[in-house]
Structure 1
Amino acid sequence: MDCVFVGAGAVADQYAAGLDGSPLRLAGVCDLDPGRAERLAAAHGADAFTDLGSALDALDAPLALNLTSHAAHVGRVTGWHDRPDSFLAVGPLYDGAVYPLSLLVAWFGPVQRVRAADVLDVWPADEEKNPEAPTHIEATLSFDGPVVRLTASLYAPHRSREFYGLELHGDGGSIYLRDAGGRGPAPGDLSYARTGREYTDVPPQQPADERPRLADVERFATAIADGDRPRASARRGAHLVAVCNGIERAASENGPVPVDACGVTADHTPPSVVRPHATEPRGGTVPDSEVGASALRLPPIGFGCSRYRDGEYVDRADSIAGALDAGYRLLDSAELYGNEHRIGDVLAAPGAPDRERVFLLGKVWNTNHGHVAEACAGSLAELGIEAFDCYALHWPEAWVYQGPLRRLAEKPVSEQEALAFPETAGGERATVDLSLTEAWANLEGVHERGWARTLGLCNVTRDQLERVLGAATVPPALVQVERHPYRPRHDLVAFCRERGIRVVAHSPLSAPGLLAEDVLAEIAADRALSPAGVVLAWNVTEGVVPIPSSITPAHVVENLRAASARLTDAEREQIATLEDPEFTR
């Protein structure tokens, strides 16, 4: 299919790089600068134009791509363009405001009305070229719920934060998007502050979109060729024009103006966590090609909520809140940690993510293997939730019952440890005669009650896992073990993957000496990551969900940055040299 590029600058070059082997043929290039148009056109055997109307009249091209950069539509136009006349003629509303407006309409649906608007004719007296349209416009727009203040200006001499980004404020907090026209998320682009807290960076958790820039255009062209002409973008474009018209009317009539929706709806945003139903089958041998469909869908990196840090117990409420603000959506909790009520307070606070967007993993302690239902009920009450997304045995061994372990964090340390780690009169660990498979049967009772959507095991060997799989009515959906380059557990990870069981790595960064390894430092330098980030990215690349823990806000954010990194095979081979078969704690 023939197409026309409108704009022949750096953005157009990036699109043109994908033309080789593409079903699209560049028939024409249109740019206000004839030299730029001729350069790009000559490179691809196309015709050059300086007027779009002439290009469309001369060519039988059903597809025209507007490839003018969004960054060129904010700030003093005479400072960045040598031929600013067309911009000065149309003004900032139709030239620049449509970019953030398009994003807002995608999020919130159509603008319902322009509540108020004002225009200003401000322009430096020493400029040789003068605008024909107002240079500074402010408007207040009503969506179905949100109210937005829009500012568009050709006067501002720089790309100010006000014109280049978006700020969203709600009852629970605020979001700041640094670059409203960026093609994909980048570190530092997004930050969030719940009410009463400072802004926290929200790192992207998926790799950057590496598809050719023409990929979406090719899909659009295919639809046109098949007779299925997509209308969504056209409807949105018509609605944006209607909004701009409404702003002009509101400014001139000094009153609110309704806006035609033009059939526009908000884009659907799926939850960040896909939660399984309690009755969904798990386990069993699964072909490699079906592992993704069978296994739990989890965030790439979770957050550990243990209170034990550097040899002492600490309060974790602030760091857990900071982790949620940064974008963590898997919390690893446990009865032993004694802070489930604090986690519940964080989840219930204004600005916290919806319950359905957070995967909660809970664990029953060794002293309650014979009283799993009692322990689970207590944990659910402390957290203020109806069910765990996964409830697991913290360790395979069963110890003497000590009663409910409620709010251990509020007890003296000596009492905490006496309850959690019971001993015989001779100072040995006080165990009970309850097998792992019997404890698993008790765990299945929690699943039957609907208190846990899936079940899991922690700190088990492959033999122990096989034993449970052989006896289970509800197979494990998740296995959590210590995993890092010193102890990669490849056999267990492969065994779980073949059966659609997700592996979660606890203590991924705490092995003594690990983060000082030269191999990690070299990879970190190449990838602009920390050594800790390399270890986390190594886990993510291998399909394992690491759950680092930190009380340092900068480390909380830095760890999550690794979620979008994927290591190469060569880098993983380098890390494989760190394996230590003799490693023990």
Structure 2
Amino acid sequence: MQPAQRKPLPRSWALERTVWLNTGAPMPLLGLGTFRLQGEEAVRLSLDAALENGYRLVDTAAVYRNEAAIGRALGELLPRHGLARGDVFLTSKLSPKDHGGELAEKACLRSLEELGCDYLDLYLIHWPGTQGRPQQDPGNRERRQQSWRALEKLHEAGKLRAIGVSNYTIRHLEELLADCRVPPAVLQVEFHPEVAQSELLAFCHQKGIHLQAYSSLGAGQLVGRAEVVNIATQQGRSPAQVLLRWALRQGVSVIPKSASASRVAENSQLWTWDLSQTDVEELSAMDCGKRHCWDPSAVA
């Protein structure tokens, strides 16, 4: 396979804040997560603060039930900030209830309609299993293969600029890579010092898959850890900023969520300072495999 040609950056993006995917397309390293961001006003205020503070990626999912609100907010806010659709990298995800070829295709097109878009920059399979089926159901593998075929079809039609997966293990990735026309561009997983997933990160680097972190703060539990607080104090930064910078230092992009405009602004201040190698190692030593979200390892 020939390496993908790099596409030019949108006019409002900064080179040092960008990663190039295996499709050749650029993707911002910082994005706004929207999990549990509900209500028109909350969505609009969070997105407004994000765009004001240089965020150029918005991450949502069908199961978040806020795609329509995000679409309406972007329609209002992009012109206000002097931006166009092409200036924002938009990600959504396939609900676990919609696994299967026809179901997956219809679900993706429904997300496009909800968001008011002709295309998505990235679309992910949200979970390797099927909602309502046992994790060990052997049919999970066939259904997610069918879903991937549907994503490939929409990718080839230009509806999805890049496709990827979320919550996949190395086993799930190996299975996908052995039987796909289009390799995944992104893997989104829980990633923070308590679940550093170094083996998974190395595998993704080897295969040309970009790793993106969710729950970078460990569902809020890590901002009070003494190791994090001590480094934050030494750096004159917040614990959240330290945790986000730890991921960026490893080439992992981040999508912190907040309904607070001041927190959204604070989380964007990641580019004019850095952690020392000692800081990174001290944080990485916290790794104990503790998940604060979902564990996909038992999904057949």
1:115-264 to structure 2, matched below 5 A, reads none
Give the equivalent residue in structure 1 for 2:278: 570
Residues in 2 aligned to 1:487 and 1:555: alpha-carbon distance in whole angstroms: 24
Relative to structure 1, is the Cα distance of residues 382 and 313 closer, same or farther in structure 2, using a 3 angstrom cutoff? closer
User: 1:300 touches 1:563 (CA, 8 Å); kept in 2?
Assistant: no
| Superposed displacement of residue 366, structure 1 | 0.7
Give the equivalent residue in structure 2 for 1:302: 31
User: 1:273 touches 1:298 (CA, 8 Å); kept in 2?
Assistant: no
Give the equivalent residue in structure 2 for 1:528: 236
| Superposed displacement of residue 574, structure 1 | 0.9
Unaligned runs of 5+ in 1: 1-267, 275-290, 400-421
Aligned-partner residue type, residue 306 of structure 1: F
1:347 aligns with one of 67, 74, 78: 74
SS at match of 1:503: strand
TM-score when normalising by structure 2: 0.82
Give the equivalent residue in structure 1 for 2:168: 460
Residues in 2 aligned to 1:513 and 1:392: alpha-carbon distance in whole angstroms: 26
1:60-459 to structure 2, matched below 5 A, reads 270-272=11-13, 294=22, 296-307=25-36, 315-349=42-76, 350-352=79-81, 353-370=83-100, 371-399=103-131, 422=132, 433-435=139-141, 436-459=144-167
| Superposed displacement of residue 551, structure 1 | 0.7
Residues in 1 aligned to 2:117 and 2:219: alpha-carbon distance in whole angstroms: 34
Relative to structure 1, is the Cα distance of residues 485 and 314 closer, same or farther in structure 2, using a 3 angstrom cutoff? farther
Relative to structure 1, is the Cα distance of residues 293 and 464 closer, same or farther in structure 2, using a 3 angstrom cutoff? closer
Residues in 2 aligned to 1:566 and 1:521: alpha-carbon distance in whole angstroms: 16
C-alpha RMSD of the superposition: 2.7
Residues in 1 aligned to 2:266 and 2:292: alpha-carbon distance in whole angstroms: 27
**1:414-468 deviation per Cα after TM superposition (whole angstroms, max 9, x unaligned):** xxxxxxxx58xxxx79x79342323212221221222101101001111111111
Relative to structure 1, is the Cα distance of residues 269 and 335 closer, same or farther in structure 2, using a 3 angstrom cutoff? closer
Give the equivalent residue in structure 1 for 2:203: 495
Residues in 2 aligned to 1:292 and 1:494: alpha-carbon distance in whole angstroms: 17
* 1:546 aligns to 2:254 (yes or no): yes
Residues in 1 aligned to 2:110 and 2:21: alpha-carbon distance in whole angstroms: 33
SS at match of 2:124: strand
* 1:560 aligns to 2:254 (yes or no): no
Relative to structure 1, is the Cα distance of residues 335 and 358 closer, same or farther in structure 2, using a 3 angstrom cutoff? same
Give the equivalent residue in structure 2 for 1:84: none
Relative to structure 1, is the Cα distance of residues 490 and 269 closer, same or farther in structure 2, using a 3 angstrom cutoff? closer
Aligned-partner residue type, residue 327 of structure 1: G
Relative to structure 1, is the Cα distance of residues 396 and 564 closer, same or farther in structure 2, using a 3 angstrom cutoff? farther
SS at match of 2:146: helix
Residues in 2 aligned to 1:297 and 1:491: alpha-carbon distance in whole angstroms: 25
Question: What fraction of aligned residue pairs are identical, expressed as a percent?
Answer: 33
Relative to structure 1, is the Cα distance of residues 296 and 497 closer, same or farther in structure 2, using a 3 angstrom cutoff? farther
| Superposed displacement of residue 377, structure 1 | 1.1
Aligned-partner residue type, residue 56 of structure 2: R
Aligned-partner residue type, residue 323 of structure 1: A
Aligned-partner residue type, residue 98 of structure 2: N
Relative to structure 1, is the Cα distance of residues 271 and 551 closer, same or farther in structure 2, using a 3 angstrom cutoff? closer
User: 2:53 touches 2:265 (CA, 8 Å); kept in 1?
Assistant: yes
Relative to structure 1, is the Cα distance of residues 464 and 488 closer, same or farther in structure 2, using a 3 angstrom cutoff? same
Unaligned runs of 5+ in 2: 1-8, 294-300
**1:36-78 deviation per Cα after TM superposition (whole angstroms, max 9, x unaligned):** xxxxxxxxxxxxxxxxxxxxxxxxxxxxxxxxxxxxxxxxxxx
SS at match of 1:491: helix
Residues in 1 aligned to 2:138 and 2:14: alpha-carbon distance in whole angstroms: 38
SS at match of 2:80: coil
Aligned-partner residue type, residue 433 of structure 1: G
Relative to structure 1, is the Cα distance of residues 547 and 332 closer, same or farther in structure 2, using a 3 angstrom cutoff? same
Aligned-partner residue type, residue 562 of structure 1: L
| Superposed displacement of residue 374, structure 1 | 0.8
Relative to structure 1, is the Cα distance of residues 271 and 470 closer, same or farther in structure 2, using a 3 angstrom cutoff? farther
Q: Once superposed, which parts of structure 1, at least 4 consecutive aligned residues long, lie more than 6 Å away?
A: none
**1:326-385 deviation per Cα after TM superposition (whole angstroms, max 9, x unaligned):** 211111011111111111112111314211111111101011112111111111111111
SS at match of 1:385: coil
User: 1:387 touches 1:453 (CA, 8 Å); kept in 2?
Assistant: yes
| Superposed displacement of residue 273, structure 1 | 7.4
Relative to structure 1, is the Cα distance of residues 296 and 485 closer, same or farther in structure 2, using a 3 angstrom cutoff? farther
| Superposed displacement of residue 398, structure 1 | 1.8
**1:363-414 deviation per Cα after TM superposition (whole angstroms, max 9, x unaligned):** 0101111211111111111111111111110111123xxxxxxxxxxxxxxx
Residues in 1 aligned to 2:96 and 2:21: alpha-carbon distance in whole angstroms: 32
Residues in 1 aligned to 2:249 and 2:264: alpha-carbon distance in whole angstroms: 20
Residues in 2 aligned to 1:269 and 1:582: alpha-carbon distance in whole angstroms: 38
| Superposed displacement of residue 504, structure 1 | 0.9
| Superposed displacement of residue 269, structure 1 | 8.3
Residues in 2 aligned to 1:444 and 1:497: alpha-carbon distance in whole angstroms: 22
Residues in 2 aligned to 1:395 and 1:269: alpha-carbon distance in whole angstroms: 30
| Superposed displacement of residue 320, structure 1 | 1.9
Aligned-partner residue type, residue 166 of structure 2: C
SS at match of 1:336: helix
